[in-house]
Amino acid sequence: MSQQWVYLSRNGKEAYAQVYGHEPSLNDMKVLFGGKGAGLVDMTAAGAPVPPSATITTAACVEYMNTGKFPEGLWEQVLDAVKDIEAQTGKQFGGTTNPLLVSVRSGARVSMPGMMDTVLNLGLNDETRAALAKLTGNEWFSYDAYRRFITMFSDIVMGYSRDHYEHKLEELKKKEGVEADPEVSLEGMKWLVDEYKKMYQEHFGEEFPTDPYKQLEAAIIAVFKSWNGKRAVDYRLHEGIPHDWGTAVNICTMVFGNMGDDSGTGVAFTRDPATGEKVFYGDYLLNAQGEDVVAGIRNTKPVSRMGEDMPDMYQQLVEITQKLERHYRDMQDTEFTIERGKLWMLQTRNGKRTSRAAIKIAVDMANEGLISREEAVMRVTPKEVDALLHPQFDEKAVQQAKDAGRVLSTIGVNASPGAAVGVLAFDADTAEAWKKAGKDVIMIRPETKPEDVHGMIASKGILTSRGGATAHAAVVARQFGIPAVVGARDLDIDVEAREVRVNGKVLKEGDWASLDGATANVFEGRIALTDPDFDKEVELRTLLEWADDIAARENVRQWPSDYKGFPTRGLQVWTNADYPKDARRARLYGAKGIGLCRTEHMFFEQERLPFVQQMILNADAAQALFDRQKRLQTILDTGKEEGANVSAERKAEVAVELEALNGEIAKSDAAKTYLAALAKLLPSQRSDFYGLFEAMDGYPVIIRLIDPPLHEFLPGHDELLARVTLMEAKGLTELPNDKEGEPPYQLDEQKTMLAAVQKMHEANPMMGLRGIRLGITYPDITKMQVRAIFEAACDAALKGIDVHPEIMIPLTGHVNELAVSQSELEAVAKQVMAEKNIQIDYKFGTMIEIPRAALTSSKIAEYAQFYSFGTNDLTQMTYGYSRDDAERRFLAKYVENGILPSNPFQELDRDGVGKLMRMCVRDGRETRPGMECGICGEHGGDPSSIEFCHLVGLNYVSCSPFRVPIARLAAAQAVVRHS
């Protein structure tokens, strides 16, 4: 017996159980029947009124794709299914008294809205059309159905674009002087059907097929093939859906919403997919077919108004959709049709929603007891959290735009929230091309179609003049989180002329516009954007509090018994913040500490940079003197020189030498300038750190000592050389400054700077004098920093602030580096605490950024009291990819060609870099049980990397303030996934 390829909706579950030996879960059914087919079977089983139907499995599609023909037994099973549907409905396929018409619909395992094909009204020919007319007493409708069928069949099954047919219809409407399709006369419809048949014959050289079974076979093949259509393939690539899943094909009894004023059709959501509000939401049309609603061709009515037109039907619809929501435990997006006073449910699926709605619905459903808090946390994606933290329009700027008369439209549907600013592009290809060229684009179209999706994805915002809240543009925009205003009817969008006219204004392609998908306001020109207001995001904050509770649970991570002091709770989320205002934002967003303060950023501030430059320019000369001084002093203190005892004579000699040297130092300009610059920087650094301790009261603050190569603080070599050359060539001693308000350049200063820069030149500065090597070479700089940190911490503690400074030494590669510098720095810390007469809680630790440090972790941990993985550098050095150049030069290609699974600077490379991390944490805690380990590289805000950090036993992840909420969600999701 051949495999079962076709299942009936009336007993699909039982049939599945017979074939597979177990009751199918909804997911089992989705895999085999596709989402739509599974919905038909499941909805029928749940007691919803579903038109009798049958589903051809995804497995059959896969077979067809592999062999190019129907698998054995498929067609016979289709014929049996048609017989069964005939029996259920009392209609006959091709029958001339009570004809059965069907729709043939695609439906993959996951929803791919509008990406594949569907044919409606299949089974019509001259005879069945006549029967339909007689049966319904509505001849006009029968011709309308027929002309729609010819159009769709030609377009979808035969590939002859529907535009040709639509053209004819427009011609007819013009001739008859009518605007809407239903106003066309009966004679007109008849003429149209004849014309369509002629067009078909002329184009294909054969008559339009009249045998319903031939029509059915061709339609099934067309749907199978649409799985590999361009739109579907593009969509799958974007969404990461495998290409070998295939689509199911659903053969459903047609019911008609266009049989008069007791008929209608619509789309209903159990909650508002834009806001998440628990209201009945959707669109419907009286006396219309489903495609009229979805295509956005006619302006629809909100479904909440159906109660006025058809109170009974409305009541039934509300009850059934709510039952379906409880059954699926998620917001449902349903399609329904009312055929002469009888309600039919055609489809239900978990509704696509905006990020905002996703969060609100998850939280509300958990509060309603429909799902657990864990489920709520798992239902929201990090991307959705991110979307809520995106900019909105600045209210003042909006008011100004309104006052200045820059409002273009306010009457559209607020289909997908968020603010967008961009240049207008009138078609998808232009939008895509402009995005590639680096422009922000708003795509503007009368309406969108599935073939526009690539342009929509490339756009910052979407604007249409037709359609309602469930039009294609709205659905797709919500899905991708792109702000959208649809159905702005006052916009006269002229795609041919590449312009939009409204209220006497004309905007051309390439002109700037702004739109607000939450208010449906559209403006001419650019509107300033502001930061989002986290305080007002009540549901998001609730969800993240639940996430924190989940991550704070003890015993969610388990370790082998010989793993010493590994955390058993989930990850904490800290932040990378250099300034108090960032720290405050991060704390508002839920950060529980600072994992990285990059102190050098403060050096770049305008009023400090001159002192930083003086420090750098004099460091070498001053340090040479200090080094000599230290050497002589050590001889006097220890009585030893190079390991051997020194004579009294030698001692006296050294004492004289030292005195002379001290005199020299006192007079040395280099030493004086160097120390003066450090003294200038100390108070600024102290006040920076004080602000951080204040903002992070009660939480740890990790401050990293200076890290980058010093030349980064000086002007560029080429720039200096060009300037000096120019001044010398022109005999100038002075040149106006490039920056407004700055004093002119002096030739001698520029020459000194150039010489210093040339002296400092390194072939590979990222692997040169930076990080801990700098601190060892110029210890006074890092000592100044440690003094500033401890002075600030002690002052703050004296004011009652709960401080926990952690001093982080960057770029350690060998334990001896730490041995030397850490003790010197800790001595400064102790001295400051003694001066201030207060003891505070502190740690000294290091970044793990060099593979050798990770490999020798058991040694490094003898000194370091904590580790923080600097995975930016660790990735650079493990792969040997320059982080500054790789992305620009070859990395994108590597990822595109599948050489690398993803960009390792974005998503942690678990196999390589991750292996080092795992080993490093384990060995470090072997030496120092319970040692605090975290991450502060960019990966600390990436969900996949966060999951990995959970798995290797880090205590926290640290990321930029804006990514803190995402990280909180990801930390909880790692707990749910792995405990």
Instruction: Catalogue the active-site residues.
Output: 472, 936
Is the CB of residue 658 less than 8 Å from the CB of residue 632? yes
Interaction of residue 936 with ligand PEP, rule CB under 6 A: yes
Segment contacting ligand PEP (CB under 6 A): 155-163, 638-646, 658-666, 864-872? 864-872
**142 touches which of Mg ion, ligand PEP, none (CB within 5 to 8 A by kind)?**
none
Residues numbered 124-183 forming contacts with ligand PEP, rule: CB under 6 A: none
Q: What does the alpha-carbon distance between residue 106 and residue 93 come to, in Å, rounded to a whole number?
A: 20
Choice between 864 and 936, CB closer to ligand PEP:
936
Q: What does the alpha-carbon distance between residue 463 and residue 513 come to, in Å, rounded to a whole number?
A: 10
783 phi and psi, to 5 degrees?
A: -65, -40
DSSP state for residue 329 in the 8-state scheme: T
Q: What does the alpha-carbon distance between residue 83 and residue 91 come to, in Å, rounded to a whole number?
A: 10
- Degrees, nearest 5: CA angle 503-506-510: 140
**Full DSSP string of 109-142:** SS--TTTS-EEEEET--HHHHHHHHHHHT-HHHH
Q: Minimal distance in Å, beta carbon 912 to ligand PEP?
A: 15
Query: How many other C-beta atoms are found inside a 10 Å radius of the C-beta of residue 813?
Result: 19
Q: What pairs with residue 858 in β-bridges? A: none
**598 touches which of Mg ion, ligand PEP, none (CB within 5 to 8 A by kind)?**
ligand PEP
Interaction of residue 849 with ligand PEP, rule CB under 6 A: yes
Choice between 447 and 873, CB closer to ligand PEP:
873
Is the CB of residue 967 less than 8 Å from the CB of residue 946? yes
**623 touches which of Mg ion, ligand PEP, none (CB within 5 to 8 A by kind)?**
none
Q: What does the alpha-carbon distance between residue 243 and residue 884 come to, in Å, rounded to a whole number?
A: 35
Q: Which helix (H) or strand (E) holds 344?
A: strand 342-350
| Distances, alpha carbon 846 to alpha carbons 826, 870, 952, in Å | 13, 10, 18
Q: Minimal distance in Å, beta carbon 613 to ligand PEP?
A: 21
Task: Name which position in 212, 461, 483, 870 contacts ligand PEP (CB under 6 A).
Answer: 870
Task: Name which position in 613, 871, 960, 973 contacts ligand PEP (CB under 6 A).
Answer: 871
CA atoms within 13 A on the CB side of 6: 23
Task: Name which position in 292, 335, 578, 873 contacts Mg ion (CB under 5 A).
Answer: 873
**937 touches which of ligand PEP, Mg ion, none (CB within 5 to 8 A by kind)?**
ligand PEP
Which residues contact residue 695 at a Cβ distance below 8 angstroms, ignoring those fewer than 6 apart?
A: 580, 583, 584, 587
Choice between 45 and 766, CB closer to ligand PEP:
766
Size of the site for ligand PEP (CB under 6 A): 10
Choice between 34 and 904, CB closer to ligand PEP:
904
Residue of 776, 924, 778 lying closest to 848 (CA atoms): 924
Q: What does the alpha-carbon distance between residue 104 and residue 195 come to, in Å, rounded to a whole number?
A: 25
Choice between 384 and 707, CB closer to ligand PEP:
707
Query: How many other C-beta atoms are found inside a 10 Å radius of the C-beta of residue 657?
Result: 14
Q: Minimal distance in Å, beta carbon 120 to ligand PEP?
A: 57
Choice between 402 and 601, CB closer to Mg ion:
601
Residues numbered 694-713 forming contacts with ligand PEP, rule: CB under 6 A: 707
Q: Minimal distance in Å, beta carbon 429 to ligand PEP?
A: 39
Interaction of residue 467 with ligand PEP, rule CB under 6 A: no
Interaction of residue 937 with ligand PEP, rule CB under 6 A: yes
Choice between 582 and 873, CB closer to ligand PEP:
873
The token pair that represents 965 in the structure block: 């909420």
Segment contacting Mg ion (CB under 5 A): 279-287, 391-399, 777-785, 843-851? 843-851
3-state secondary structure (DSSP) of residue 806: strand
Choice between 24 and 924, CB closer to ligand PEP:
924
x/- binding map, residues 722-751, to ligand PEP, per CB under 6 A?
------------------------------
Count of all residues that appear for the chain in the document: 979
Interaction of residue 870 with Mg ion, rule CB under 5 A: yes
Interaction of residue 873 with ligand PEP, rule CB under 6 A: yes
Q: Minimal distance in Å, beta carbon 159 to ligand PEP?
A: 53
Choice between 944 and 979, CB closer to ligand PEP:
944
The token pair that represents 852 in the structure block: 């050798």
**335 touches which of ligand PEP, Mg ion, none (CB within 5 to 8 A by kind)?**
none
x/- binding map, residues 562-601, to ligand PEP, per CB under 6 A?
----------------------------------x-x---
Interaction of residue 12 with ligand PEP, rule CB under 6 A: no
Segment contacting ligand PEP (CB under 6 A): 297-305, 485-493, 818-826, 869-877? 869-877
Q: What does the alpha-carbon distance between residue 309 and residue 311 come to, in Å, rounded to a whole number?
A: 6
Interaction of residue 813 with ligand PEP, rule CB under 6 A: no
Choice between 20 and 604, CB closer to Mg ion:
604
Q: Which residue has the tokens 């009249």?
A: 210
Q: What does the alpha-carbon distance between residue 104 and residue 55 come to, in Å, rounded to a whole number?
A: 10
Q: Minimal distance in Å, beta carbon 539 to Mg ion?
A: 37
The token pair that represents 138 in the structure block: 């509505």
Q: What does the alpha-carbon distance between residue 9 and residue 14 come to, in Å, rounded to a whole number?
A: 10
Segment contacting ligand PEP (CB under 6 A): 154-162, 233-241, 794-802, 871-879? 871-879
Q: Which residue has the tokens 């150039």?
A: 754
Sheet of 441-445: strands edge to edge? 407-409, 521-524, 512-516, 419-425, 441-445, 461-464, 484-486, 413-416
Interaction of residue 940 with Mg ion, rule CB under 5 A: no
**346 touches which of ligand PEP, Mg ion, none (CB within 5 to 8 A by kind)?**
none
Q: How far is CA 44 from its chain centroid?
A: 36
Residue of 179, 183, 152 lying closest to 165 (CA atoms): 152
x/- binding map, residues 848-867, to Mg ion, per CB under 5 A?
-x------------------
Q: What pairs with residue 92 in β-bridges? A: 99
Q: Which residues bind Mg ion (CB under 5 A)?
A: 849, 870, 873
Q: Which residues bind ligand PEP (CB under 6 A)?
A: 596, 598, 707, 849, 870-873, 936-937
